[in-house]
Structure formats: C-alpha cells, structure tokens
Amino acid sequence: MRSAVEGARRLGAVALGMVTAAVELGFLLVTLPFLGSARVAAAAGRLAGFEAWRLRLDPAALDAMGDGRRVLRYLALRVPVGMLGGLVVLLLVPGIGAAVLLAMSWGRGEPFDGMTPTLPLVAYAFVGGLVLLFLDLSGVMGVHALERRLARRMLAGDPTVALERRIAELAESRAGIVAAVDSERRRIERDLHDGLQQRLVALSMLIGRSRRGRPELLDQAHSEAQQALAELREVAWRVYPSGLDSLGLGEALAGVAERSGVPVSVTCELPDRPPMAVETAAYFVVSEAVTNAAKHAGASGITVDVRREGITLVVRVRDDGTGGARLAGGGLSGLQRRVSALDGTFEVVSPPGGPTVITAELPCA
C-alpha cells in the first residue's frame, strides 16, 4: 500500500513538472533581456524553491539557491527534462483509454477494431498491456530520479562547502551534548542536595533522638526512610530508567504516566523496538515534557503519542496547560540538543493560553 501511494505521488510530481517546465520556459523567454536583474534572480530562486518542494528535496542542502546564474542554468536544463516527463505521463492516457474500450467491447462480446475476443488474443492483449504499462511507469520513475539528480547537481553547490557545514554541525552538536550532560549533572546534584540529602540528615537525627529515650520517634524515622527510598528511586530513574532495557519504550512510558501527578494518556504503537539511542531519547523527551506540563503549565491532562512513520520515530506530547513554553528553557533546550545529536528534529508549539505540543522526529536508520 505504501509503495502504491509513493508511486502515485511520484507520478503526480512528474505530471506537475510538465506544467512547471512550461511556466519556466515562458519565464526564461520573457526575462531573457533582463537576466542580470536582481528581481529576475529572486523570481528564479522562488521557482527553484518550488521545484525543490515538488521533488521533496531539503532546501537547506541546496547551497546554490542564492546564486542567480546557477539557478537560471538549472531552470534552462530542467525544461526539456520536464517536457520529457510530461510526454511519458501523457502516454498513459491513450493507453488506458484503449484498454478501457477494449475491455468494454470484449465484455459485451463485440469485436474491437475488427478483432473478436478469443482466449489467445485476450491473453496477448493482457500481457502486452501490462508490459507497456510497466515500461511507461518505469519511464516516469526514471524521469523523477533524473530530475532529483539534476537539482542536486546544479543546486547543491560545492561538496567541500557541504562537508564543512556538516563538520560545523557535528561540532556544535557535540558541544551541545556536553552542555546537556553538564546541565543534567547539576540538576541531579540539586535533587540529591536539596531533597534526598536533607531527608537523610533528618532521618539520622530522628534515629539519634530515639536512641536517647524517645522510642515513639521510630515510626517517624521509618516514614522518613520510606520517603528517602522513593526519592532515591526517582532520581535513579531520571539518570537512566532501568526498565527501558528490559521492558521496552511502551512500558517505560507507562511508568512515566503512573508517576505523574497529572493524568497522562500514552499511545505507543511500534512494530519493533527502535535503536537503543533513539529509544532513550524518546523516553527523555516524554519524561521532560510531562514533568514540565505538570509543574509549570498547570495542565489537567497530557496525551503522549509515539509511532513509526517510515524510518522515523515520531514522538508527540500535547498538554492542555497555559502554554508559553520556550526552547530557551534549560530542560527543553537540553532535549533539543539530545535529539539533534541523533540527526533528529525537535519542535515546540506553545501559544499563550495553550495548548502546548512538543514533537520530536528521530531517524531510526
């Protein structure tokens, strides 16, 4: 089913390419006397941007989009390719029409073009039609691949520049990871110092007082010990959830929902387990988002949706709180760095008044 949808999408893209090729041909002819104009270059850039969208190319990877001359050369070379794609698509029309008329005539037992239906003739027409359809659709896929290759070749710019940009992105990502780790260490230290450490000091004092003739304080000491264990368990889960390895992402997120003070609905539909690094990042995205919604947004309900879309794990957390969340916050910016380190994308949509929707897309390949 997915292959059929993708094939139909490419067929539509090639058919649309025939229309845009005619538009671009007219554009080039009209603007020929003004090729040095900045407005012409800007308009050509917009046409090339549309072509990138049509071919599902990342505009950020097309370094030469701002180079007017290269964009114009690309449009000039793309015109014949687009026309070729249009001709290949148009061949489907008479072929499908002939097949429909043939089926209708022979279905009624009538001759078609002087030919009466016989078993060998029907088999010949069926096999021949399938072969011609296969050849035409192969041509459509070939034109689509040629268009993508042409756009990359003409607009992707210098490979050295792209490599340098990637190195810079990796260096920034590595620095972000270090900063995120340091931030998480500071937060764990605050949790231990402000919570667990003080509770253990109070426990020690209670035990000392009970030993000096106040046995009634033992019940209070026992309660303090139970709370200290609960806080220690919570800190340990924030460092790394041990159940994630053994139980999987769905069960780990169910644990997040159980520990939350706000009702959390979790939907985790995964055909198989994603890579461990992706699974861990998804867990912390949900955990941090749920914590923020409960503590800062005043939310009364949170929904978590985790699913695979192709080779991408999509994590979406929505709350009905007051909104206003910003990536500048320490927790969310740390999550963004964690997701970026896996070449994923992280988005926060949180208008004043809510709702807040946090989306992370993590590639699994």
In a domain, 313, yes or no: yes
In the prediction, which pLDDT does 306 show?
92
The answer on 134 and 267 residing in a single domain is no
The answer on 223 and 179 residing in a single domain is yes
How many Å from the N-terminal Cα to the C-terminal Cα in the chain? 21
In the prediction, which pLDDT does 256 show?
84
The answer on 185 and 120 residing in a single domain is no
Domain count, the chain: 3
Residue that terminates a domain, selected from 210, 239, 268: 239
Of 123-127, 213-217, 260-264, which gets the smallest average pLDDT? 213-217
Tokens found for residue 87: 């001709």
What is the C-alpha to C-alpha distance for residues 137 and 143, in angstroms, rounded to an integer?
A: 10
Asked whether residue 315 carries a pLDDT value surpassing 90, the answer given is yes
Tokens found for residue 124: 């010949």
Cis peptide preceding 355, ω within 30 of 0: yes
The answer on 7 and 130 residing in a single domain is yes
Q: Is 221 helix (H, G, I), strand (E, B) or coil?
A: helix
Enumerate residues 6+ apart whose C-beta is below 8 A from 10.
140, 141, 144
The answer on 130 and 82 residing in a single domain is yes
Tokens found for residue 75: 């449009």
The answer on 131 and 25 residing in a single domain is yes
The answer on 71 and 16 residing in a single domain is yes
For residue 84, which of 152, 168, 174, 147 has the smallest C-alpha distance? 147
In tens, the pLDDT along 255-276 reads 888 888 889 999 988 888 888 8
In a domain, 166, yes or no: no
Residue 224: give the domain boundaries: 174-239
What is the C-alpha to C-alpha distance for residues 132 and 227, in angstroms, rounded to an integer?
A: 74
Tokens found for residue 344: 């994923």
Tokens found for residue 109: 């037992």
The answer on 296 and 187 residing in a single domain is no
Enumerate residues 6+ apart whose C-beta is below 8 A from 67.
157
The answer on 341 and 232 residing in a single domain is no
DSSP secondary structure letter of residue 297: S
What is the C-alpha to C-alpha distance for residues 250 and 14, in angstroms, rounded to an integer?
A: 41
The answer on 122 and 12 residing in a single domain is yes
The answer on 195 and 106 residing in a single domain is no
- pLDDT, mean over the chain: 80
Asked whether residue 2 carries a pLDDT value surpassing 70, the answer given is no
Contact 253, 305 (CB under 8 A): no
Contact 343, 285 (CB under 8 A): no
In a domain, 163, yes or no: no
- Tokens 């010990």 label which residue? 225
The answer on 148 and 180 residing in a single domain is no
Strand ordering across the sheet containing 302-309: 264-269, 302-309, 312-319, 356-363, 345-349
- Tokens 């340098």 label which residue? 164
What is the C-alpha to C-alpha distance for residues 291 and 256, in angstroms, rounded to an integer?
A: 9
In tens, the pLDDT along 82-112 reads 999 989 988 888 888 888 888 888 777 777 7
